[in-house]
Every structure is written in C-alpha cells, then in structure tokens.
Chains A and B, each alone.
Chain A
Amino acid sequence: MKDRNLLDLCSTLVELARKAGADHAEATASWERAVETHLENGAVHTVQSREETIYGLRVMVGGSQGFVTANDSEPEVFAKRVAEAVACARVTPKDAWVGLPDPEAVTKVSGLYDADVAEVGVDETAQLAATMLAHIRDLDSRVRVDSGSVSATVSMTALASTTGVAVSQISTLMDASAFGMAVSGDEVASFDYDNAISRRRRGFEEEISAACDRFVTKCAAGLGATAGLSFRGPIVLSPDAVAEFLLPALIDAVCADNVRKGRSPLAERLGQRVATSLLTVWDDGRVPGGVSSSAFDREGMPTRRRAVLSNGLLQTFLFNHYEARAKGNGTRSTGNATGSAASLPTVGSHRLEVDPGTTAMADMIARSERAVWVGRYSGATNPVTGEFSGVVKNGFLIENGVRRPVREVLIAGNVFELLNQISAVSRERHDVGGQALVPALRAEDVSVTAG
C-alpha cells in the first residue's frame, strides 16, 4: 500500500458519492500493518500478524449528513456503501451546522516515520517480549506479568473531500506494555501498568528497560498495604494520576461540544481564572516524533500547539469544523477534530503538557504533615458536574515523616474546585504514555475516607 493509493481510494469514494447525489462528501481511509507478540501469565503466549484498510465516508445531501465506514476492498462494493451513506443522509433531519472545511496549509511533523520499524517482523517482537519478561523477572521475582504485548505498526492515513482537502501521512509506532501485580505468599498487591512507546526502533530496548523498572517499582510498592485514615487534608497527585484523572476532566470541559450542550461548568468562563495561577496547560499536536502528533486532524485541518490554561486563566475552547460553525461569528476549527476512519469527527485534545513548577517532587509533603500520595486514581468522575469519588491506587499515607502503602482509601470532591486547591507543582515531569507530559500536583483540603 502507498499513501498515493490510499488518497486515490478516498478520491474514488468522494467521486462516487457525488454521482450518487451527495452535495458534498469527505472520505478518509487508513491502512495499518502490525506484528505483535502477546504476553500472558508471565510467558510469551501468542504472536500475531495483521493488515487492514478501513475507510469512512461522510456525505451531505440537502443539509443532512450520513456516514458509512467499512473494511471492504472490493471496488464493486464501494457503490453499495456510498448508496447506503446517501440513503442515511436522506432520512436524517437537516442540520445547518453540518459542512466540510475548506483546505488549509498542512505542514509535516518530523519524526513520525522510521523505516526500521517497518522492517520489524514477528521474530523480533517475540524476542523483545521474551527479553522484557526476563528483565522483569530479574528485577523482582514477586512481580507477575498478567498480560502485555510488544508491537510494531506501520500506518497510513489519507483524506479527500469535495472542498479540495487532500492530505496523507505515514507513521510508525513501537509499543511495549506490561500489566500485572506483585504476589508475595498469600498477599496480592494492586494491579499496575507501564509502557514504552516510540515512533522509532533505535533505542527501544532502553525504553522497554526503563518501563520495566517503573512497572516493577510500582507493583512491589503495593505490597504490605494496610488501612489508611479518614481526614481532610493535602493529597499529591502523581504524574500518572494527573494525566489519567485531572486532565481528562479539564479537557472534557473545554471541548466545544460539551460547552454548547450545557455540559461544561467552564462554559461561561473563557478568559477567567478557573485554576490556581500555578497551572499552565498546553494542547500540542505537533511534537516532533510525538506519538500523539499528526500533521492534520480528523478533518484534514492543520494541528497546532496552543495554551488551554495560562497561569490558571482559561485561554480557549477546542473546536472541530461542526462546533466552529455552531459557535458562529467567524469561529474556525482549532484543528481538534478527533476520531478515525471508522467514526464521525468528534472533538478532543492531542498531547497535553503541564508547565513544571519549582518544588522538588520529594519535597511536596513536609515531614510534619499528614497527606496521601495518589499513585493512580480508580474512580468515577462526572464530566458534567466535576464531582469525583474513587479509590486511591498505588497510594501512600505520609504521617510524621513515615510513608506507608495503604488500601481501601477513597478521595472525593469536585475536579473544578480541585483545580483551585492546587498549591504546588513539581519541577520534575513524566511522559505518560506519550499522551501527556506532566508534573505531580499537590492539592489542599481534600476529603480522604479510609475503610
């Protein structure tokens, strides 16, 4: 498969849609070839090879939209799928905001493709997986790998539309992950997880090794966990917890669809202070070699780096083309259309980055204090209200300078209040799965309940 062929497929579908009666059409297609080795119960379990092309066709007929996605490769089936999309549009009510963007200049993001990854075969992923298992076992024999994988993927994406958008991109990805827990005698500690992810083959062994170190440290730290204490007081969210708990709630609230639908507590707060001045958050789709980077979004619009929060002030909402039209007044897409060829565009972020602070991570809790370190958060967050309540995982209670692992500890509150309760930001930052580059955050006066 060549990216030219994929773009030709998109153009063919757009042309067929026009012939079938569509006023406008957009086709996007992705091709992916991957080799993958799966781990199960501490052993190499299955080696896998797959290749697939998926396309998605969006058509507009008289102001109504229809969408079909399929993985057919037979040209004779294309006309049938196109007819299905047009028929779908014809029975869907009109929507004045439906439309396709005009083309904009798209510039390449460097470092997304590495020819060495494209050469990786099943023997190599199996070898890397076996090495990863041996490394974990050597580090700590109490740590069990329940599941995991090592994969190498080559993918291409293309998009063409009746408005003249025509873009394509090729990228590669190496990914290795381990999921498991420490077991010592009758004691089973909490699940934990870590991964290494890169666009490049070179140096990936070292990245796997570092991920194994982090994985083993987190798993083993959970052994010996005992009951915690109930109190109101400070907590420290680890970079993992910031990336997986705090930032998703913030991003939900700045996505223009939630703002428009009355599902964002930040709807009327643009330009206002919504978080402590210590907090600056960026959305960046253009990090060179970044695993969340792409030259263009799901609608073929260029991606950007932009501040979401700047010293606690809300700087922007995130838009795709539909939401920009809904907003009106000349609002344009911010390059935040997300989704794949298998889905209609939605709104979302790329890589999130939180500016570092000035406090060393080790100094975020004073010796005299009682506080909880939240390694991970496993819980419910209502994206509409911001209310959260959940269990602290890989958690520690710090009291009188002593740090001990705890279990059955819950934290509760409201994410949007928590943003204003942040009192310290660590100067160290961690890359969390290529999705976020974040420090640890300390928040005051949080409800902690122990079982």
Chain B
Amino acid sequence: MIAALELLREIAARQDGFVEIRYHAKTSRSLGVDKGKVERSQVRHRKGVGVRVFAGGGWGFASTGQVDAVSIERAIQLARTAAKACAGHSSAGSAKHPPLMSLPACTLARGIFDQPGLEEIAARSLEEKIAMATNLEAHMRGASSTIRSASCTYNEIFEDKAIVTTDGAEAAFRLVRPELRVQAVAEKDGQLSTGNEAVGATGGWDCLFHSAAGEALAERAAKTAQDLLGAGHAEGGRSVVILAPSIVGLLVHEAIGHTVEADFVQAGSVAAGKIGHRVASDLVTLCDSGGSEHYLGAGGTIPVDDEGVPASRTTIIKDGILVSYLHSRESAARFGVAPTGNARAWEYSDQPLIRMRNTYLEPGSQDLDEIIANTRDGYLLDGPRNGQADATGEFMFGVQEAWRIRDGKLGELVRGVTLSGIAFEVLQSVDAVSRDFRWDLGAGYCGKGQPAKVDAGGPYIRCRALLGGEQ
C-alpha cells in the first residue's frame, strides 16, 4: 500500500491539470454451505488503477489492471483523450446545469488510515471458516424435522486503497468486511417458508457478531422459518407500524438517502429545493457517516472517499428539517457547499459516484415496550427482504416478520407483508422513537450501476404506512 501510494505520488507530480489516480486491490473469499455440502469455496483477486482527468469541463476516466508507471501513464493519456471527447459534448447538457470548469479547493485527506480487524481475519484459517459455516448450516437443519434445507454463506472482502490527486490528496487505507448469511427453509403439508438472518461489518469477528453470535443467528432463522409455516396473511391497507432498526435502516437508506444524493437532487428528486424545509416530524434526526457512530463495525465504514475527501458525518435531517444533501466534489461545487465524502467506486475500473455509507436515524428516549403498550392497533415489522424507492419518494420493502399488535400487546405472526408509502409522509408521521440503536444492514449491498457496501440502522420507530397484504 505504501509502495502504491509512493508510485501514484510520483506519477501525479508529473501531470498537468487535474488528475486523480486511485489504486485499488481487492481480495474476496466466499464460502457457501448448502444442505450439508460445501458447494463453494473461492478466492477472487482484482487489482488495478483507475484515473480521472477533469479538463475543459469534461471528465475522462480510464483504468488499467497493470500497476506500473508505464501502464498508469498510458491510462492517463486515454483519460485525457476521453476528457476531450467529453468536453466537446458537455454543452449537450441543459442550460440549468452549465459545465463546471474547475473543482474548488477543499479539505483533502493525507496519511494512512488503516481500519481494525485486518490481521485477525487474515489469521483465521480457511479450515476454521469452513467449519463455522458447516456447523451453522447443520445447526439449522437439526433444529426441527420441519426444516427441509438450510444454507450458510460466509464472505470477506479485504481492500487496499491509495488515492492521490494533483491538488493535494494523498491517502491510503486497508480494511476488511466480513459477512455471514444463514437461511432455513421449512416445509409442512407442501407449504414452504423461509427464515433469513444476515450480518456484515467493517472489522473483525467481534464486530461481525456484535449483536448476536453465529449460533443465535442460525437458531433465529430456523425458528422464523418454522413460525411462518402456520402464519396467516396481513390485511392490506394503511396501518400504524412499529419498525425495527433493520426496517428503519432500509427506510432511511432506500427511501430517504437516495433522494438526497446530490446527483438525484439535480435530476429533480423529491428532495430538490427542500433544504430548510420540514420533511419529517421533529423526532427525526437522520445522518450518513463514513464512521461507525454509536458502536464500531458498521458495514459501510470508510475513512476517506474515492476522491480523497475525509468521510465525515453528515446530518441530513435535523429535528425534522432537511439540512444537507450528500455530495461529491463536483456536486458540492455546483451547490456551493463543502463535499461530504460520499464519492465511492466499487472497484478500480469503476468511477466514483455519490453513494451512501452508514445511514441512520438517531435514537430517542422511549422504551420499545412502552411504545408497543401505547399502540392500540397495528403491526411490529422486522427482518428486511428487498427494498426499492422511487424518485417520488415512494418506497417498497419486503418484510420477513410482521406481528399483529392489538390493545398494546404483541399478537400473532403474519407472512408475506410489504411495507410501502411516500418516504417524507411516513417520516412526518413518526410519533415515537426508542432509545435502542442497532446497525442492521451491514450484509447489504446498494446498487446504482455498481455495487457499494453500505450499512444502515437506528432505533425502533412508530409511524403510519401502507401494508401490502390480501384483499
């Protein structure tokens, strides 16, 4: 890493104009155990250098898998040619967004920013990791005769990055992100049901298993699959819902976070023009951070973004008022604010895009039990499946478990529930926020043309939303 940083620094010193050079080496290991068999044990190595040139109002990007001075300088030439081709057409944009001709100076990172956990995960043998995955899979199948099959996936990604720009960034870091997923499938009288649990972290196994040990996750997945076998369906319609931290995480990431990414804002998302406006109840404070707030290990942690900007904490909504968007250097220049460290690239051959990191709702002051006791009629929702959100702020999340609440008491479990609504309307309806806090989407990947490791979470909240169910 130090050698790569030095090589990039030497090359950058020879360049004219703005050039950004990023070395990125990634080693990923993946193990898959399914129905008693190790079906997948693989290692993936990918390394190279991506370079961006900004000239004449146009961006050029080129990448090379060869990490040597000649190849990198050749990539810079290709990027210069590409920037020229881009600048020739950048006037094809709308008059509303005239081309930017240079990037303003900003705070840029300089130094080495290694994250914890690297040595610990590297030191654990492949045999130990295979044994863990095999045991957890067997544990689920042994939980009940109704468990028809089970699977366990363990992944780890080691990253090694160095970023140098001609205007002053010189940063490097290494980190590791382990992930574990378990799934149990139960069957009775021809009806199938599934239970899923997943955790992901930036750091060692102490971070990965911060909220629950592997065995506890396996037991929970097996229990959920069994419990859902006999569960009925929810009644569709608008309802009071208490969202667990996992669902809150999905809500703040999918339904709010994407609408405040400055590129979406410029295109006309629902958050456009809303800075300083009330968009949520005053119980809502929402942030996105490159650090892991509240406790260590959040899965989207980065010390520095892929433009060399420190990835500090950004408050998006404060006490219900929208106060900031998420920015790259370019979008920050267009909005006349400082960049927020949200420009991220998945691999060396990807260009940086505005992405979230760890997105969360700040905890409040109430007990979950107290919130449930004060709910006459509604549902408690936990276990996110997939989620999507729209430019309109309309979102849709699949929910694994939904418990009926009647007269302040948790009742039966129902299945096949979808949560939907208009994001800012749902946040306006938040009337209770618990004091708990949990990162709960660390095993997740966000997609926006390229993947990104992110995390999200928060406390339990109560609000109103639309439940998809049966009519």
> Are B149 and A263 in contact (CB-based, < 8 A)?
yes
Task: Tell me the B191-245 residues at the A interface (CB within 8 Å).
Answer: 191-194, 233, 236-238
Cross-chain contact of B267 among A146, A408, A410 (Cβ < 8 A): A146
Evaluate whether A188 and B392 lie within 8 angstroms (CB atoms) in the complex, with A45-B86, A412-B236 already known: yes
> Are B263 and A188 in contact (CB-based, < 8 A)?
no
Report A-chain residues with C-beta under 8 Å of the C-beta of B393.
188
Q: How far is the CA of A268 from the CA of B48 in the complex (A)?
A: 48
Could you mark each residue 137-177 of chain A with 1 if its beta carbon is under 8 Å from any beta carbon of chain B, else 0? 10000001111000000000000000000000000000000
> Are B236 and A230 in contact (CB-based, < 8 A)?
yes
Q: Which residue of B lies closest to A187 (CB)?
A: B392
Min CB–CB distance B222 → chain A (angstroms): 14
Cross-chain contact of B263 among A41, A127, A411 (Cβ < 8 A): A41
B127 at the binding interface (Cβ < 8 Å): yes
| Interface residue count on the A side (C-beta < 8 Å) | 88
Report A-chain residues with C-beta under 8 Å of the C-beta of B148.
262
Could you mark each residue 125-167 of chain B with 1 if its beta carbon is under 8 Å from any beta carbon of chain A, else 0? 1110010001000000000000011010000000000000000
Q: How far is the CA of A52 from the CA of B282 in the complex (A)?
A: 51
Q: Report which residue of B83, B125, B420, B422 has the largest number of chain A beta carbons within 10 angstroms of its beta carbon.
A: B420
Could you mark each residue 382-399 of chain A with 1 if its beta carbon is under 8 Å from any beta carbon of chain B, else 0? 101101011101000000
Evaluate whether A122 and B81 lie within 8 angstroms (CB atoms) in the complex, with A70-B46, A378-B396 already known: yes
**Segment with Cβ contacts to A, from B62-70, B297-305, B371-379:** B62-70
A226 at the binding interface (Cβ < 8 Å): no
Q: How far is the CA of A71 from the CA of B59 in the complex (A)?
A: 26
**Segment with Cβ contacts to B, from A89-97, A110-118, A273-281, A302-310:** A89-97
Evaluate whether A95 and B187 lie within 8 angstroms (CB atoms) in the complex, with A43-B99, A47-B83, A447-B471 already known: no
Report A-chain residues with C-beta under 8 Å of the C-beta of B39.
95
Q: Which residue of B lies closest to A132 (CB)?
A: B92
> Are B238 and A69 in contact (CB-based, < 8 A)?
no
A44 at the binding interface (Cβ < 8 Å): yes
> Are B92 and A43 in contact (CB-based, < 8 A)?
yes
> Are A47 and B59 in contact (CB-based, < 8 A)?
yes
> Are B86 and A46 in contact (CB-based, < 8 A)?
yes
A342 at the binding interface (Cβ < 8 Å): yes
> Are A378 and B388 in contact (CB-based, < 8 A)?
yes
Task: Tell me the A47-72 residues at the B interface (CB within 8 Å).
Answer: 47-54, 65-72
> Are A231 and B193 in contact (CB-based, < 8 A)?
no
Evaluate whether A123 and B85 lie within 8 angstroms (CB atoms) in the complex, with A49-B79, A188-B270, A384-B192 already known: yes
| Interface residue count on the B side (C-beta < 8 Å) | 92
> Are A69 and B45 in contact (CB-based, < 8 A)?
yes
Min CB–CB distance B37 → chain A (angstroms): 6
Q: Which residue of B lies closest to A451 (CB)?
A: B466
Min CB–CB distance A155 → chain B (angstroms): 14
> Are A379 and B396 in contact (CB-based, < 8 A)?
yes
> Are A391 and B89 in contact (CB-based, < 8 A)?
no
Report B-chain residues with C-beta under 8 Å of the C-beta of A210.
none
Report A-chain residues with C-beta under 8 Å of the C-beta of B236.
230, 410, 412, 447, 449
A425 at the binding interface (Cβ < 8 Å): no
> Are A91 and B390 in contact (CB-based, < 8 A)?
no
Could you mark each residue 245-271 of chain B with 1 if its beta carbon is under 8 Å from any beta carbon of chain A, else 0? 000000000000000000110111110
Q: How far is the CA of A51 from the CA of B149 in the complex (A)?
A: 42
> Are B41 and A65 in contact (CB-based, < 8 A)?
yes
> Are A384 and B194 in contact (CB-based, < 8 A)?
yes
Q: Report which residue of B41, B393, B415 has the largest number of chain A beta carbons within 10 angstroms of its beta carbon.
A: B41
> Are A387 and B416 in contact (CB-based, < 8 A)?
yes
Task: Tell me the B259-313 residues at the A interface (CB within 8 Å).
Answer: 263-264, 266-270
Q: Report which residue of B38, B194, B418 has the largest number of chain A beta carbons within 10 angstroms of its beta carbon.
A: B418
Q: Which residue of A lies closest to B52 (CB)?
A: A46
Task: Tell me the B44-74 residues at the A interface (CB within 8 Å).
Answer: 44-48, 52, 58-66
Q: How far is the CA of A391 from the CA of B351 in the complex (A)?
A: 32
Q: How far is the CA of A46 from the CA of B469 in the complex (A)?
A: 44
Report B-chain residues with C-beta under 8 Å of the C-beta of A81.
45
Could you mark each residue 438-451 of chain A with 1 if its beta carbon is under 8 Å from any beta carbon of chain B, else 0? 00000000011101
Report B-chain residues with C-beta under 8 Å of the C-beta of A89.
41
> Are A67 and B41 in contact (CB-based, < 8 A)?
yes
Q: Which residue of A lies closest to B94 (CB)?
A: A42
> Are A130 and B268 in contact (CB-based, < 8 A)?
no
Cross-chain contact of A48 among B62, B388, B390 (Cβ < 8 A): B62
Could you mark each residue 382-403 of chain B with 1 if its beta carbon is under 8 Å from any beta carbon of chain A, else 0? 0001101011111011100000
B349 at the binding interface (Cβ < 8 Å): yes
> Are B386 and A380 in contact (CB-based, < 8 A)?
yes
Q: How far is the CA of A191 from the CA of B137 in the complex (A)?
A: 40
Report B-chain residues with C-beta under 8 Å of the C-beta of A410.
236, 396, 418, 420, 466, 468
Q: How far is the CA of A35 from the CA of B62 in the complex (A)?
A: 9
Q: Give A contacts to B, CB under 8 Å.
A: 35, 37-38, 40-54, 65-73, 81, 84-85, 87-89, 91-93, 95, 122-123, 126-127, 129-130, 133-134, 137, 144-147, 180-181, 183, 188-191, 230-232, 260-263, 265, 342-344, 378-380, 382, 384-385, 387, 389-391, 393, 407-408, 410-412, 447-449, 451
14 A/B residue pairs, CB under 8 Å, sorted by A? A42-B93, A42-B97, A44-B92, A45-B90, A71-B65, A126-B85, A146-B268, A230-B236, A232-B471, A261-B35, A387-B416, A391-B420, A407-B392, A408-B466
6 pairs of A and B residues whose beta carbons are closest in the complex:
A43-B93, A380-B398, A449-B236, A410-B468, A389-B418, A146-B267
Given contacts A42-B94, A43-B94, A130-B89, 15 further A-B contacts (CB under 8 A): A41-B266, A42-B267, A47-B85, A50-B62, A65-B41, A67-B40, A70-B46, A72-B65, A191-B390, A230-B237, A261-B185, A262-B148, A380-B397, A385-B193, A410-B236
